[in-house]
Structure 1
């Protein structure tokens, strides 16, 4: 079994993290080789282990499958009226404000001192804040980070120097904005710039690597989802979980362990999981093609200046056999690499190129060919590259290739002839989650950056679209700023889900209204334009309209 270091989550020293699907007593089993297991559910766990001992995990009967952790990147006047949320909040209508519900924001943290996340008496609306980047006192059942309670947050707010009491900060401002759109009460603007569910309470998890707030590992997000779900269950309240992250490193088919775990957790407790479709719609980072026995493929792409690493992840039918060859901008070939090579490393100048032929998994018949280019010193020279696919034995012939996301390699890295469809980023590709596309509510058109679904595949489409351009939201340090991206479309739906669960569960109208049922009503109540066919790969089932949805719930959900 071959392991490739550039895809592993490092936890300091030579320890790495992997996701496992298990049976039996996994904690006791891995302790025999000096590893630690954190249980996420009765099937999934995260194992921290010395890298040199990682192959030993494959000998345990308790372990059914293993997946290396991967990086996910944060996707950098509220449009409540265009989403039909304002009318639902009004006293002469449904008068829903999120009371009795929980907004769980898993993101870059939160500015807990911002008055939009405080009650009228100045106390916090945050039930708990788990900062995974600060070592100290982790929540029960977890091994890392520090959990700050409501009492500790209030102590900090009463202090003239709050960050000396609770040192957790949102350095990016991303999580603060997302939380404000979903749940801000607008106190900094006398209520004018409030979010969708201003009376809900919040659970906050700050994820990310120590010293680097721009990305998080899939294992960190899995821990966070378990944490907020368990907290909501303990408190007996419905919860909407917002995950504004995305990556291209995967098959985009919902069949990785990470995606399967999120699919499973979306059915836990009284919850809804909301994930944006990502900002890859116009990035040029996806390519689809077909190869025949007598027709090799040549795929041209460009890389930006200043990047130190990038990858190509190619997915194909395992029944097909073909070789790959990477041509550098200076015309040098990295050589032809075949299935028989399995894993090959090539050094050319300052570059280390690793090409790996993966195996199908228990969930998928597809095979990944993973190509990683890493500058050993300095950066990768920009320019035009060529990926050649050379047929050996072709049965099906179709394949897909992805470059990293905009957040990793910028807009100046792209395929010369990209495929626009199937650009929804992971983990929105998990099943049973609510996928949110982004549109410009001023002109009614889809945002060009919004991730696009798979054509002729209802399971691969967005569920609904929400405003994503120039969204006014709380900023770190106080006040408000404008934000753009599908990250900021998702919390409109998160807040809407809270109001739906307030009406249904908290108010006792439909006590089992969550999960797929909630998702179905969001689709049903969406606004749809005359002349467009729905569902479609850009808008999904239409534009969010909460008032329509509540009217339908009132008529049919009781």
Structure 2
């Protein structure tokens, strides 16, 4: 296939349907009803000519030169040859980041009218929650008159959008018994809880206006697709422009597929959107910190390195991603517990299918590509009947000529694996999830119980310094352990899913102080992130930290009052 088509899409297209359906990263984006693929396309210039040729394809234009296209695999191969097309990738699977907070984050001080902060509560700012839905009748999202605070709601599952007037009418009919169910209902509770923390009346930005995107289903699967997030972000920014209001977007989802260096089309889209309008995007770092889903290693010329992977009982499938420098030459073998040895690193072999007992192993080596000067080796082990062989699998690196030697491996998220599955010598660094890897987004980790600590589950990031350039993730941490959610049945929630809306609400408070109140019309994007970092509480002397970022959120100290 054309090198403009990403590796995983090439593998997925070359794999039989019964095998592909068992691997979420492979199957994400395929619609069985009409045999089409949903793809993400980065373009240069107009697509008018292409759209006139591929009339049976469905094109959706997003901001900043990105498109989502639904078409057949044959058209994808042809599209990749068109000069307007820069790169094509498939959607990936993303998952929830589940695993006296306002006082801890200095929110209450900043809200107090009598302080120098003037009582900022997010008023005049749009807070967008892209998640699993919402209870529109919850008092947290109503004003003092009983009217909705939600300015617009888009239910991706039904394709229906609702204005605030329509929501108020539905609520009145519901109260009178004329309608029995409310739209965009949150079946999991995740989206509702995230929204309460970010912008509920008991939450952080308690007077903000609200935008809701209920993510569509993924054909009955437990994950959502990256394309659904992209459509949601695009919708929210267009709405903010329509309303002429500053915007903060909350994304409490993440996945592990990718090199974690910000180079996928999905990550670049998030980055570009952060620079498009008066906008900030807050994304969780994920909960892979104490999982065993990541391994880092260092190859040395002429040496052999064995990375052992334990696979527990009852695993129907597992995928392994290896990302290394293209200039480092090494033979990579996958060795089963029963001794079978497969070479998975031959870049010239294309997609390779191996059979071991009741298992199929699909692998492909690819790279370098337009946005990554390294090499990816992807391998999926799928049981054709029963389960894959449990025990210790070995990924063996036989190094030849090595210039750099550093490499990373990732498994699927810990929430999708049994507790017995994982690397025997895992590396906690680089466990932050995508799209929290996006450079311009605000990447949020979770505080630990002890002052100055990170929660053990909170994903670890990276610190790269070159001269004055510093790329550090996470950017900041916030309370994310045992957060109390008010309601008829008060509950506590834990995870970076719930640390993220703390920062989302804080960003709305800074935007109110700066943009709405006229103190700083540029309080968004990188500038807003810098003020959050400047005001963070730090314990110790070494910053940034791969677990704690630049410190713990403190809203009051982040507002640059004189």
Q: TM-score, normalised by structure 1?
A: 0.91
Cα–Cα, structure 1 residues 460 and 217, in superposed 2: closer, same or farther, change >3 Å? same
Cα–Cα, structure 1 residues 410 and 197, in superposed 2: closer, same or farther, change >3 Å? farther
The 10-residue stretch of structure 1 (501-510 or 210-219) with the greater mean CA deviation from structure 2: 210-219
- 1:397 shift after superposition: 2.2
Match in the other structure for 2:122: 98
- 1:61 shift after superposition: 1.5
- What stretches of structure 1 of length at least 5 have no aligned partner? 135-144, 186-193
After the TM superposition, which residues 404-419 of structure 1 pair with which residues of structure 2 at under 5 Å, given as runs? 404-419=412-427
- The correspondence for 1:464, drawn from 465, 476, 493, is 476
Q: Is the 8 A contact 1:88 1:95 kept in 2?
A: yes
- Distance, in Å, in 2 between the alignment partners of 1:376 and 1:128 is 46
Match in the other structure for 1:147: 161
- 1:146 shift after superposition: 2.2
Q: Does 1:272 align with 2:272?
A: no
- 1:396 shift after superposition: 2.6
Q: Does 1:118 align with 2:142?
A: yes
- 1:447 shift after superposition: 0.3
- Distance, in Å, in 1 between the alignment partners of 2:168 and 2:336 is 56
Note the alpha carbon deviations across 1:280-300, whole angstroms, 9 max, x for none.
111121111122332122111
Match in the other structure for 2:68: 46
Match in the other structure for 2:321: 313
- 1:444 shift after superposition: 4.5
Match in the other structure for 1:37: 59
- Distance, in Å, in 1 between the alignment partners of 2:46 and 2:397 is 45
Q: Is the 8 A contact 2:136 2:182 kept in 1?
A: no
Match in the other structure for 1:189: none
- Distance, in Å, in 2 between the alignment partners of 1:201 and 1:213 is 32
SS of alignment partner, residue 554 of structure 1: coil
- 1:525 shift after superposition: 0.6
The 10-residue stretch of structure 1 (285-294 or 508-517) with the greater mean CA deviation from structure 2: 285-294
- 1:473 shift after superposition: 1.9
Cα–Cα, structure 1 residues 84 and 318, in superposed 2: closer, same or farther, change >3 Å? same
- Distance, in Å, in 1 between the alignment partners of 2:522 and 2:112 is 25
- 1:497 shift after superposition: 0.5
Match in the other structure for 1:142: none
Q: TM-score, normalised by structure 2?
A: 0.90
- 1:149 shift after superposition: 2.4
Task: Count residues with an aligned counterpart.
Answer: 531
- Distance, in Å, in 1 between the alignment partners of 2:451 and 2:548 is 14
- The correspondence for 1:487, drawn from 484, 488, 497, is 497
Match in the other structure for 1:59: 81
Q: Is the 8 A contact 1:83 1:546 kept in 2?
A: yes
- 1:37 shift after superposition: 1.4
Match in the other structure for 2:295: 287
Cα–Cα, structure 1 residues 437 and 289, in superposed 2: closer, same or farther, change >3 Å? same
Q: Is the 8 A contact 1:337 1:344 kept in 2?
A: no
- Distance, in Å, in 2 between the alignment partners of 1:508 and 1:437 is 30
- Distance, in Å, in 1 between the alignment partners of 2:51 and 2:426 is 44
Q: Is the 8 A contact 1:320 1:395 kept in 2?
A: yes
Cα–Cα, structure 1 residues 147 and 379, in superposed 2: closer, same or farther, change >3 Å? farther
Cα–Cα, structure 1 residues 70 and 474, in superposed 2: closer, same or farther, change >3 Å? farther
Q: Does 1:172 align with 2:196?
A: no
Q: Does 1:80 align with 2:134?
A: no
- 1:84 shift after superposition: 0.3
- 1:442 shift after superposition: 5.9
Q: Does 1:4 align with 2:11?
A: yes
- Distance, in Å, in 2 between the alignment partners of 1:150 and 1:361 is 46
The 10-residue stretch of structure 1 (392-401 or 286-295) with the greater mean CA deviation from structure 2: 392-401
Cα–Cα, structure 1 residues 254 and 110, in superposed 2: closer, same or farther, change >3 Å? same
Q: Is the 8 A contact 1:322 1:339 kept in 2?
A: no
- Distance, in Å, in 1 between the alignment partners of 2:48 and 2:73 is 18
In angstroms, what is the RMSD of aligned CA positions? Answer: 2.0
SS of alignment partner, residue 59 of structure 1: coil
- Distance, in Å, in 2 between the alignment partners of 1:387 and 1:455 is 27
Q: Is the 8 A contact 1:176 1:474 kept in 2?
A: no
Cα–Cα, structure 1 residues 203 and 80, in superposed 2: closer, same or farther, change >3 Å? same
Cα–Cα, structure 1 residues 514 and 304, in superposed 2: closer, same or farther, change >3 Å? same
- Distance, in Å, in 1 between the alignment partners of 2:199 and 2:428 is 33
- Distance, in Å, in 2 between the alignment partners of 1:202 and 1:44 is 26
Match in the other structure for 2:352: 344
Q: Is the 8 A contact 2:477 2:551 kept in 1?
A: yes
Q: Is the 8 A contact 1:278 1:424 kept in 2?
A: yes
Q: Does 1:514 align with 2:524?
A: yes
- The correspondence for 1:496, drawn from 495, 498, 506, is 506
SS of alignment partner, residue 340 of structure 1: coil
- Distance, in Å, in 1 between the alignment partners of 2:89 and 2:214 is 23
- The correspondence for 1:13, drawn from 30, 34, 45, is 34
The 10-residue stretch of structure 1 (317-326 or 429-438) with the greater mean CA deviation from structure 2: 317-326
- Distance, in Å, in 1 between the alignment partners of 2:178 and 2:73 is 40
Q: Is the 8 A contact 1:319 1:394 kept in 2?
A: yes
- 1:212 shift after superposition: 3.7
- Distance, in Å, in 2 between the alignment partners of 1:378 and 1:419 is 30
- 1:246 shift after superposition: 0.9
Q: Is the 8 A contact 2:297 2:406 kept in 1?
A: yes
- Distance, in Å, in 2 between the alignment partners of 1:474 and 1:308 is 39
- Distance, in Å, in 2 between the alignment partners of 1:304 and 1:272 is 41
- 1:317 shift after superposition: 1.0
